[in-house]
Every structure is written in structure tokens, then in C-alpha cells.
Structure 1
Amino acid sequence: MFAHTKRLQYTVRVTESNPGLANLLLEQFGGPQGELAAATRYFTQYLAEDDPGRRDMLIDIATEELSHLEIIGTIVAMLNKGAKGRIAEGVDSEADMYRSISGAGNDSHVTQLLYGGGPALTNSGGVPWTSAYVDTIGDPTADLRSNIAAEARAKIIYERLINATDDPGVKEALGFLMTREIAHQQSFEKALYSLQPNFPPGKLPGMAEFANVYFDMSQGETPTRGPWNKEPTFEYRQAETAVDGGSGNGEVTLAADEAACVQQAAERLRSDPDSDPQTGAMLGAGGDAAANTSAARQRGGKGGTATLDDGEPRSGGA
């Protein structure tokens, strides 16, 4: 059950209208790192979670993310409020109105005209929100790691938004939201490490002979060695083919009738490596290019003739 409290989780104070900033803030309203994406991600995880501790944590954080969505949406609406009223009442001349909604270096005209200045479920570029932003896979160790990364990405976006405004009230509210991303990240990390073992994700172990091997797959400059690719965790090896000891080729077993069909199709579709057919691009080149191509064929090309649209026979490949 959800019950809405009309007071925001954090007081929002906006000094002046700023449609351009409002448009940027939509990134945290309907963007991939935004509050709606976070709320739906944690809510769906909560519904499928059997562990009582993680279940409580997920619904608490999902619900708080909805309150953050309300804060961001309120800021967007307040930043747009002045422009919304002017457009709705048509108080400006056509030219002045066009200049005001087109802004200086922002796309706020989309939200002004299409959504009337209200917070839209899009990112700052106008791309509609999608459930594809929710990357839950149903394994706690994998999902918690994804949640930690999502909170980290959201914190970075909030930092960038804070740096994009000089409105003290907006800065303060965004600072609160950024700080809560840190708190959530810590909760998810604590929950992850309360699971033992928590790596690798899932139930099946890796193949022991490859689980701690690092392959140097790029050639050129001397590779940089570090804890990500050196002993004692990793055995460092050069790039290899057929590390399983097999042929390194694709091998498939077919029934006799299937094999016969495959062979028949291969023969029918076999290309001639000795041919040098004249192409439509060659014909379309015209002039000297076509003449040079024809002359080259006469000197060294494979025998055969091709008839052009003008009816003149030309030497060409088979």
C-alpha cells in the first residue's frame, strides 16, 4: 500500500524561472540515471525478493526514489512556471515568444510547446523514458552490483547539474538528492557483502583452468600490468587460439540427409574466385573510367562478353 504525504521530503526553493535548467533536470526525471528508473528497478526487485532484509531495504529505497522523483518534478515545474504562464496567456509578441522558448543553447522549446512546461517523462534530449532502463536480472549479487553502479552514475549526474546552476535553492536540493545516492550506494554494498559467498554471481562455478587467466589481447605498446592482470590473482598469458586444445574451428554433426542438403547448397552458391565481373558501379562511371576498365579487361581479364544497355558488346569477365 502507498499513501502520499503532500509535503516534500526536502524543501525546494527556486529563485527565478529558468526553462533551460529545467530541461537539463529532466535527465533525472525521465533519463536512464533518473529517479523513475531507480524507483522501478528497486520496486521490481523487491517484488521478487525472498530475503526479508533485502526485501525491506528495496521497497524503502524504491519508495524514497519516488519521493525524489517528486522533488525533481517540482523543481522542473517551478523553473518552467514563469514561461508556462507567458506562453499560456500569449502575453508576448510572436517574435519575443519564439526567442524566449528557443532559449540560448538549450532545447527547452520541446517541453514548453509539447508539454506546456510540465515535467515530461523524457531525458534532457527529449527521448521518452523506457523500461529498458531497468536492468534487473533476478540474481541478488548481480542486481546489487548493478544498483551500486546506478547510484554512482546518478551521483555523477547530480554533480554535473549542481555545477550548471547558480540558483542557491536548486543547488541545495540537488545536493540533498546527490547525498542520498551515496547513502543508497552504501546500503546496497552492505547488503551485497552480507551475502557470502557473493562472487561469482549465480550458482555455477567457472572453469577452474580459465577463471583466473588474463589474456593480453592487444598488440603493440608494452602492456601496463596491475592488480587487474597480474599475480597472485591472475596468470598472465599472451593471446591464444584454441585454448581448449581443440582445432579452433566450428564443428557440427549433421544427419546424413542434412549434410547432403548443406553440401548441395554450398555447391550451388559457390563463388568463382577467378572471375572479375563488370559491376553496375563500373557501368555507371562512364567515360574514361568505363573505357579504362574495358581496356584492362581486354589486356588481362578473363574471356567473355557482356552487352551494355547501348547494345555494344564489351570484353568482360564471366
Structure 2
Amino acid sequence: MFAHNKRLQYTVRVTETNPGLANLMLEQFGGPQGELAAACRYFTQALGEDDPGRKDMLMDIATEELSHLEVIGTIVAMLNKGAKGRLAEGVETEAELYRAISGAGNDSHVTQVLYGGGPPLVNSAGVPWTAAYIDTIGEPTADLRSNIAAEARAKIVYERLINLTDDPGVKEALGFLMTREIAHQKSFEKALYSIAPNFPPGKTPGDPRFTSVYFNMSQGDGDTVRGPWNAGDRWQFVSDRDQQAAVDGGSGLPGVQLGAEEDSVVQQMAQRTASVPTGDPLTGAELGMGEDAALNDITRAVKPSTDGAGGTTPPTTPGL
């Protein structure tokens, strides 16, 4: 059960309207790193969570993300307020209105004309919100890591938005939202490390022959720069190309076992579609090039010519 409180979680104060900035703010309203995506991600995870502590945490944060959606949506609406009134009431000439909405920059004219300055569920480029942004897989040790990354990405977007405005009230509200991303990231990380063991994700262990092997597949400049991600006693560093192939000890060549009937049909298909390695068939591309003298001779031989009476004379075949 949800109950709405008409007071915002953080007071929004906008100094002046700015449709262009409003459009950029939509990135955190209907974008992949935005508040709606976060709320839906954590809400659906909470519904499927069996651990009571994590379930409560996920529901708390999901609900708070909805309050953040309200804050960012309110900022969008307030930044569009002046333009919305001018466009709705037509208080200016057509040319003045056109300059007003097109001069705001980016795609703000789209959101003003299509959505009347309201906060639509699109990102700053006008792409509609989609549930494909939700990457929950139903395994806590994987989902919590994804949540940590989602909060980190959202923080970066808020930093960039803060750098785009000099409106002190907008900066303050965005700073609060950015800070809450840090708090959520801490909660998710604490919850992850409260599960022991939590790596690798899931239940099935990896093959010990390969879990600590680092394959140096991209060789060249930079190979000498190594760190704890591929150096030390915990890693077997493999650069030899032969040792990077067929690491299972087999031949490295694919194989499939077929029944007698299937094998017969496959052989029949292979014979029917086999290439002929001999000869050099003339192609339409070669005819169109018109540069090779030998090809030109062949072209003249196979192409009918027009006689003086408007008819055609049959082609001749070289050597006949």
C-alpha cells in the first residue's frame, strides 16, 4: 500500500524558467539511469526477495526513488513553466514563439510542443522509457552488484547536470539527489557483503582450472602495465598463443555426433551446395568495370550490336 505526502522530500526552488535545462533534466526522469528505472528495479527485486532485511531495504529505497522521481519531475515542470504559459496562451506572435522554443537548445521544442512543457517519460533525446532498463535477474549477489553500479551511474549523471546550471536552487536539489545515490550505494554494498560467500554470484562454483587464469589476448603496447587484475600469485598469466587455444586439452576443432539418417541428409546438402574450385566465372561486376581488354572482347562478343537499319546483329563468339 502506498500513501502520497504532498510535501516533497527536498524543497525545490527554481530561480528562472529554462526549457533547455528542463529537457536535459529528463535524463533522470525517463532515462535509463533515472529515478523511475531505479524505483521499478528495486521494487520488483523487493517483491521477489525472501530475506526480510533485504526485502525491507529494497522496498524503502524503491519508495524513496519514487519521491526522487517527483522531485526531478517538479524541477522539469517548473523550468518549463514560463514557456508552457506562453505557448498555451499564444501571447506572442508566431515568429516570437518559434524563436522562444527553438532558442532553448537541444530537443526542448519537442517536449514543449508535444507535451506542453510537462515532464514526459522520455530521456533528454526524446526516447520513451522502457522496462528494458530493468536488469534484475533474481539472484541477490548479482542484483546487488547491478544496483551498486546503477547508483554509481546515476550519481555521475547528476554531477553532469549540476555542472550545466548556475541556478542555485536547482543545484541544491540536484546535489541532494546525487548524495542520496551515494547513500543507496552504501546500503547495497553493505547488504552484498552481508551475504557470505557472495562471490562468484550464484551457487555453482567455477572450474578451478580456469578461475585464476588471465589470457593476454590483446598483445602489444600496454602489456608491460600490469596490476592486481592480472599479476601476482593469484593469477596465471598466459601469453603464448598456442596455450590460449584448446585449453581443455582437446584439439580445439568442433565436432558433432549425428545419427545415420541425419548424417546422410547433411552429406547430401554438402554435395548439392559445394563450390567448384576450377574455372573463373565471369561476373556482372567484372562486365561493368569495362577496363580489362580481354573482358571488353568478351563483352562485345556476348552483347548484341545495333545495325544501321535499327535492328540487331547476333553476337559472334571468339575463335568461331
TM-score by length of 2: 0.91
- 1:55-113 per-residue CA deviation (whole Å, 9 max, x = no partner) reads 00000000000000000000000000100000001111111111111124311011000
Corresponding residue of 1:259: 263
Query: Residues of 2 paired with 1:19 and 1:74: CA distance?
Result: 13
Corresponding residue of 1:148: 148
- Contact residue 22 and residue 76 of structure 2 kept, 8 A: yes
Contiguous gaps of at least 5 residues in structure 1: 299-304
Corresponding residue of 2:3: 3
| 221-230 or 45-54: bigger deviation | 221-230
Matches within 5 A, 1:158-197: 158-197=158-197
Q: Does 1:102 align with 2:102?
A: yes
Q: Does 1:244 align with 2:248?
A: yes
Q: Does 1:235 align with 2:239?
A: no
SS at match of 1:99: helix
Q: Could you tell me how far 1:306 is from its partner in structure 2?
A: 9.1
Query: Residues of 2 paired with 1:235 and 1:220: CA distance?
Result: 19
Query: Residues of 1 paired with 2:146 and 2:27: CA distance?
Result: 19
Q: How many residues matched?
A: 306
TM-score by length of 1: 0.91
Q: Could you tell me how far 1:225 is from its partner in structure 2?
A: 1.0
CA shift in 2, pair 1:246/1:180, >3 Å: same
- Contact residue 41 and residue 134 of structure 2 kept, 8 A: yes
Q: Does 1:271 align with 2:275?
A: yes
Matches within 5 A, 1:201-216: 201-216=201-216
Corresponding residue of 1:301: none
SS at match of 2:215: strand
SS at match of 1:236: strand
Matches within 5 A, 1:82-121: 82-121=82-121
- Contact residue 31 and residue 124 of structure 1 kept, 8 A: yes
Query: Residues of 2 paired with 1:225 and 1:190: CA distance?
Result: 30
- Contact residue 308 and residue 314 of structure 1 kept, 8 A: no
Corresponding residue of 1:302: none
SS at match of 1:258: helix
- Contact residue 287 and residue 295 of structure 2 kept, 8 A: no
Q: Does 1:30 align with 2:30?
A: yes
Corresponding residue of 1:132: 132
Superposed CA RMSD = 2.0
| 231-240 or 143-152: bigger deviation | 231-240
Q: Could you tell me how far 1:282 is from its partner in structure 2?
A: 2.9
> Match for 1:245: what amino acid?
G
Q: Could you tell me how far 1:136 is from its partner in structure 2?
A: 0.2
- Contact residue 26 and residue 76 of structure 1 kept, 8 A: yes
SS at match of 2:80: helix
Query: Residues of 2 paired with 1:166 and 1:137: CA distance?
Result: 40
Q: Could you tell me how far 1:284 is from its partner in structure 2?
A: 3.6
- Contact residue 141 and residue 202 of structure 2 kept, 8 A: yes
SS at match of 1:195: coil
Q: Does 1:21 align with 2:25?
A: no
Q: Could you tell me how far 1:17 is from its partner in structure 2?
A: 0.7
